[in-house]
Structure 1
Amino acid sequence: MGLSVIDLQPYLRWREDSLAQTAAAAAVDGSEESSKEFNGLVAMELNDEGLRSSCENVATCLRETGALVVKDPRCSSKDNDEFLDMMERYFGQSDALKRKQERPDLHYQVGVTPEGVEMPRCAVDKELQQVMQTLPADARPHMPTGPDPKWRYMWRVGPRPSKTNFQELNSEPVVPEGFPEWVELMNGWGHKMISAVEIVAEMAAIGFGLPRTSFTSMMANGPHLLAPTGSNLSKYNELGYVFAGYHYDLNFLTIHGRSRFPGLFIWLKDGHKVPVKVPEGCLLLQAGKQLEWLTGGECAAGMHEVVVSENTQEAIKAARNSGRSLWRVSSTTFAHIASDAVLQPLGHFAAAAGAHQYTPIHAGDFVEAELAAINLKRAPC
């Protein structure tokens, strides 16, 4: 069972044309209302039936499978490869050098998270463990025996709020020494990934019958994170070895570029387990828990794990024979709702059958509770 591939270019072209028209109108009119429309605070009218159908397809994918694959002309394979090259060099350093960027006091939300820190959700969530047992044997996740043995680097993307009640979630990024290209490359790739999420979020809102900016307005100044993981395949390469235990993502939408090693498996809403193979030049998106909250449970957060598979082992052998890095790097970005925004079912989703389970909560409070559950938010000493 494959995932739908949706080309974002037609919507991007319509959006750019519409913004150009509203900019021209604002320049001639000079009125406050025209300026608001140009700034994206007033929804642009989408009358193209083909584009509307594409938006409905995005919404359907998120509702029925929790995942989709998109093609965004602004996110090239070259950009992804340059990012992976740098992160392979970073993760290939000694543990002591990497730990200089460790910030446990900031809940590991900037800088590096060493292996053996983050607890997979399935290891601490009894309800999730019960769900795992209900899945067919051939679709059942691996049960990890301890913390994830992966490294991760958290890099803040985009502007931070001038005032927030959640300072630890909106701290300045950490820059490692010895990587002069770091800031430009991380900001460049991270911005492109978040821009792709914003387009998907607009299309999803239209497809759900909500105002176009329903989601993106809540994403403004959110604690978005370019968050690549590094898994050491020269050290951990046994079949079935778990790098990231069965879990959902706590954020709004997660977007991945291509990895050079397979191993990511996702579960569709109907329980099917799917090995992920992102086509060249494409990006994978998954619904996060914040989207589930905003849709009253109609878009369930996508479950996934990363394990060493037979295909992973074949890729390890090929990389070793060609002298390439044996670090499996994910090109993952977490798009968030702003920390001070309130999570609650939007519009008609407030009448969804399970909406009562999603009571209003500040996104920052929700994130901190989730981080505490997986051992990233530590109690004060």
Structure 2
Amino acid sequence: MELPVIDLLPFLEIAAKINGDDALNPDDQIDDKLRSLCSEVSRTLRETGALLVKDPRCSVEDNDRFLDMMERYFEQPSEFKRLQERPHLHYQVGVTPEGVEVPRSLVDHEMQEKLRAMPKEFQPSTPKGPDPKWRYMWRVGPRPSKTRFQAVAEMAVIGFGLPRNAFTSIMKQGPYLLAPTGSDLQRHGQEGTVFAGYHYDLNFLTTHGRSRFPGLNIWLRNGTKVEVKVPVGCLPPHSSRKAVTAIEWLTARGCRAGMHEVVVTKRTIDAIEKASKENRSLWRVSSTLFAHIASDAILKPLGHFAESPLASKYAPMCAGEYVEQELAVINLKGNK
């Protein structure tokens, strides 16, 4: 299955016009064609938990420069990188060394039962312990009072039939994190190595630039496992598990989280061999951005989703409290 590619340009042009003129009514500016595009965003998030985005503000050259920089950082000796380690801050700033973060599928017994019930061909790879990946966290923010850098969230909410700012209003000044991950393919480049075990993310929407090495698998809502192939010039934002706080809480499970893993595959091996011949870095860098709901915002079903039969299962909860609970489960709050 090929994920659809959503071109953000038409929506960005409308958003720029609205943000520049307070007298404009956002709903009046969204014609049937644009509303159809927004419906495609929400439909894709519901069915796949992920979509590919073509954003004219994000160039291939910028992504390449960022990957070059992060490859140089991750190639530094471990003792140097560990100087930026901040476990007392739950690793939410600075570096997270390999062997710290525990994939949810390794400690969640309910999830393990569900995985065993999957058809063999759709089951995720089994991690043998904590993830052998590094990550560097850098806070992005505070957010401005007006912004056009939340297009996917706005398009999704329009597609869900909610007010245009229903998501972005509770994303303002959220703890956004630029969090590139680095996986050492020279040490851990054997086929089947699990760099990030089957999991959901702790935030609302996660965006990745295109990596130089494949290996990202996602699960559709029907349980099918799909390898993500990102065309040049595209970004894959996926609804993540604070998309289960957010997306599931805010839509009363109308939209589910994007489950995913990162594993060394045959395509990864091919890319390793090619990079070795060209004398390029063998660190797999994922240029991840975690977009969060504001910590003090209350998560609860919004609008017509509050009338869902499942709404009672999603009692109001502070977003920051939920994140702290999740960090503890995956060993980022110090619990082994």
TM-score w.r.t. the length of structure 2 is 0.95
Are residues 46 and 147 of structure 1, via their aligned partners in 2, closer, same or farther at CA, if it must alter by over 3 Å?
A: same
Separation (CA, whole Å) in 2 of partners of 1:373 and 1:77: 36
| Unpaired runs of at least 5, structure 2 | none
Separation (CA, whole Å) in 2 of partners of 1:295 and 1:139: 26
Contact 1:43 1:213 in 2 (8 A): no
Deviations 1:307-343 (A, max 9, x none): 1100101100111111000000001111000000011
SS at match of 2:44: helix
- Residue 124 of structure 2 corresponds to 141
- Residue 124 of structure 1 corresponds to 107
The residue type paired with residue 100 of structure 2 is V
Contact 1:46 1:52 in 2 (8 A): no
Separation (CA, whole Å) in 1 of partners of 2:310 and 2:99: 36
Separation (CA, whole Å) in 1 of partners of 2:266 and 2:121: 15
1:1-381 to structure 2, matched below 5 A, reads 1-20=1-20, 22=21, 43-159=26-142, 196=149, 198-288=150-240, 289=244, 290-378=246-334
Are residues 47 and 241 of structure 1, via their aligned partners in 2, closer, same or farther at CA, if it must alter by over 3 Å?
A: closer
CA radius of gyration, larger in: 1
RMSD after superposition: 1.6
SS at match of 1:154: strand
1:77 to partner: Cα distance: 0.7
Separation (CA, whole Å) in 2 of partners of 1:19 and 1:96: 47
The residue type paired with residue 11 of structure 1 is F
1:195 to partner: Cα distance: 5.6
1:152 to partner: Cα distance: 0.4
Q: How many positions carry a matched residue from both structures?
A: 329
The residue type paired with residue 72 of structure 2 is R
1:354 to partner: Cα distance: 2.3
Contact 2:16 2:148 in 1 (8 A): no
The residue type paired with residue 6 of structure 1 is I
Are residues 160 and 11 of structure 1, via their aligned partners in 2, closer, same or farther at CA, if it must alter by over 3 Å?
A: closer
Separation (CA, whole Å) in 2 of partners of 1:306 and 1:258: 14
1:46 to partner: Cα distance: 3.2
SS at match of 1:89: helix
Deviations 1:210-250 (A, max 9, x none): 11000001000000111111000000011111010000112
1:206 to partner: Cα distance: 1.0
SS at match of 1:324: coil
TM-score w.r.t. the length of structure 1 is 0.84
Separation (CA, whole Å) in 2 of partners of 1:227 and 1:313: 25
What percentage of residue pairs aligned between the two structures are identical?
61
